[in-house]
Chain A
Amino acid sequence: MDTLDLARLQFALTAGAHFLFVALTLGLATLIAIMQTRATLTRSAVHERMTRFWGRLYVINYAMGIVTGLVMEFQLGMAWSGLTHFAGNVLGGSLAMETLVAFFVESTFLGLWIFGWDRLNRWAHLGVFWVVTLTAYASAYWVLVANGFMQNPVGAEVSGGVLRLTDAAAVLGNPTALTAFGHVLSASLVVGAFFVTGVSAYHLRRRTAEREFFRRSLRIGVFTGLPALLAVAAFGGAGFAFVQPTKEALFEGDAAEVARLQAEAVTAHGSAAGLADHLPPMGLVQAGAILMFIAFVVMLVVAVPSALLALSRRAVLGMRSWHVVLIAAIPLPFAAVLGGWVFREVGRQPWAVYGLLTTEEALSDLSPGVLRFSLTAFAVLFALLVAVNVWMLARNARRGPVTAPSLLDEPSDAPAGPVPVAAAF
């Protein structure tokens, strides 16, 4: 593998790992915000306990999203300095806004939420979580503004060899960014909903003591999952209108059209490094898209009858064959999310900024040795983190709602009673 392939693989591993964690974080945050709102409005003990239980799983996952996100932010400058050099006036601004308007407040408020449980006024504590949720959305928006610009550069012009911002509104309202934002937000809601549904089904199937707790959780998951799934399709469909011609041709398997577009690009940008000899791999682009569509269809086949079955209390509590299906469906949205990401990102190669800057031009001047070292080190670290995260989630999900000193501590095995005000959690 040459330096370019190594750097791309490294970024793909980082972004892929990050995306898996973040999709669950975003989706769970929305559901927990709803649960905590109900708990605060009605003083419902079961919703208060639901907030703590799902909050524990959310917090486990959250940290993994942060650390992979850090590595990704640094990697943009470390391995792709050609990109910051050429497009920094647009991309840098959107990354700066992401940290200023979203991530800074999100990290601060997450600490307040976890450790302020018994110290903050309950309304303030609820407000804190809504801020965490909304700033997470804002983060996703700003990142997708940057990504949308790379897919479909609008609102800027090349002068003196670099891009300069000419129309900020066009960058912020880039349809490629907005449709992706809707698509990713609803996809993450599907991830969170299928997760909550599957874990609840596990407990109902095992007939654990918390029947009412998981009956309600399952219904929240099912009734969010189906509309979110329809929204994913709507935003995805809307986004298809802006898919680049090469990606479309790759998707359709039209090799002749791909070759024609390639020749056209070479004529227009003959001097761009790596343009003539780098074609996006058709097989991978198609595999990503097919994985996404198949997972979507299977999820729909699960979600529609589930929405009907969830109306029946007897089915929710006792239909164990359905429970098995719901547990087995937990990985489906993750597969769809990864497939869709491969389709979107691999499908625009060899461009880093479509039609303007090739991936090879974006690459920093690095030796293959140093990249091989960092790629190996990050790959090992991320594999460990993914494994620990999956193990921790499974372990805590299986134990159900139990008491613990804090959301960061291992719970004891004594089942938690209804939590009195200001009890240890």
Chain B
Amino acid sequence: MEIALLAFFAIGYFVLAGADFGIGMLLPHLGRSPAERGRVLAAITPFFLANEVWLVTALGVLAGAFPVLEGELLSEHYAVFTALLLGWVTRDAGIWLRGRVDRAGWRAGCDTAVVAGSWTVALSWGTLLAQTVEAAPPVAVPVIAAVAVLFCAHGLALAGLRLRDRPRERARRPFGASGERTVYALTTGGTVLVCLLAGSRLPLAENLADPATLALLTPTATVLVPLLVGTQVWLWWSLGRIRPAG
């Protein structure tokens, strides 16, 4: 059950936030003017914190149900997690602060922060995957590149769903005849597979927390999951119909 909870939150993060990273990575391609880039980011701004919190919760479940493994994973990959955090914070600050100052230089700086931060996050996850599957250096590079491509494709699919006009056309161009829904479903499937593959390499079952802890944590978490998903469904339902004009 604990493994299912961890998988649920981790997969939820990569599926939801992964598309945000892709959009951030391809921001200069999707939006060719500051105003267009503003509309591209406006498509993800109401949701990105709510998407990222899936990872925070996955980390919480990891710390609660697999505490020894949590410490070992994070400290073993200390440098990559440092890069991940630096990219993450830079990216979030860029999204959050972009509209706050109505000056061209400020917007350009924030766009740069979003793009650089998104690439750093994507490449850090790629590196972590390569390290988790213990890929030898010649294999690691294609693994990292494949992760970046997956994030980009997933982001384009979301951009196709959420944007309008020219940014939407740019997002849809690589899809050929397939619709953005099909691509989104495919990239979601790919993301889930990668998560399951990486998760299967982690020594989860042998690192469970003490039964006394799990006796409290697991039922509470299980009961809460529908409620948590419900809050997010409300968010998507209330705000998902807004398509920023492009």
Interface residues of A (CB under 8 A from B): 60, 63, 66-67, 70-71, 73-74, 76-85, 88-101, 103-105, 107-112, 114-116, 119-120, 162, 164-166, 168, 364-366, 370, 373-374, 377-378, 381, 385, 388, 392, 396, 405-406, 408-410
Contacts and interface: CB of A to CB of B under 8 A. Distances in A.
Interface string B64-80: 11011011111100110
12 contacts: A79-B75, A88-B209, A99-B57, A100-B57, A104-B228, A107-B49, A107-B56, A108-B234, A370-B78, A370-B82, A377-B82, A408-B96
B175 interface: no
A103 B61 CA distance: 13
A77 B100 contact: no
B210 to A, nearest CB: 4
B216 A93 contact: yes
The size class of the interface chain B forms with chain A is 35 or more
B46 A99 contact: no
Contacts of B99: 405-406, 408-410
Contacts of B96: 63, 408
Given A104-B56, A388-B97, 20 more contacts: A66-B92, A73-B60, A74-B59, A74-B74, A74-B85, A77-B63, A79-B75, A80-B71, A81-B70, A84-B63, A88-B71, A93-B64, A103-B60, A107-B56, A115-B242, A165-B216, A166-B212, A364-B75, A381-B86, A392-B97
B221 interface: yes
A87 B92 CA distance: 32
Contacts of A97: 60, 64, 217, 220
Interface string B202-213: 000000011011
Interface centre among A78, A79, A82, A377 (most CB of B within 10 A): A78
Given A119-B239, A366-B75, A107 B209 contact: no
A90 B73 CA distance: 19
Given A78-B81, A79-B78, A168 B216 contact: yes
A103 B56 CA distance: 8
- How would you classify the secondary structure of chain A's contact residues: helix, strand, loop or mixed? helix
Contact of B239 (A70, A107, A111, A410): A111
Given A77-B70, A381-B86, A165 B231 contact: no
Nearest to A69: B56
Interface centre among B63, B88, B212, B227 (most CB of A within 10 A): B63
Given A115-B46, A120-B238, A374-B78, A99 B71 contact: no
- How would you classify the secondary structure of chain B's contact residues: helix, strand, loop or mixed? helix
A92 B63 contact: yes
A414 to B, nearest CB: 13
B71 A110 contact: no
B234 to A, nearest CB: 7
B85 A109 contact: no
Contacts of A83: 71
A164 B53 contact: no
Contact of B50 (A63, A92, A111): A111
Nearest to B102: A410
Contacts of A110: 49
A73 B70 CA distance: 11
B136 interface: no
A108 B93 contact: no
A211 B47 CA distance: 37
Contacts of B232: 108
Contacts of B56: 70, 73, 99, 103-104, 107
